[in-house]
Amino acid sequence: MSFIKTLIKFIISIGLFFLYLFYILPSSLFKKSHRSRQNFIFEKRPGGSYFFERNLSYSKRDLEGM
What is the binding site for another protein (CB under 8 A)?
8-9, 12-13, 16-17, 20, 24-25, 27-29, 31, 34, 36-37, 39-45, 47-60, 62-66
Structural contact between residues 8 and 15, judged by C-beta atoms closer than 8 angstroms: no
Closer to another protein at the Cβ: 2 or 57? 57
- Measured at the CA of 31, the angle between CA 25 and CA 35, to 5 degrees, comes to 120
Amino acid at 62: D
Closer to another protein at the Cβ: 1 or 48? 48
Taking the complex as a whole, the smallest distance from the CB of residue 3 to another protein amounts, in Å, to 15
Structural contact between residues 54 and 60, judged by C-beta atoms closer than 8 angstroms: no
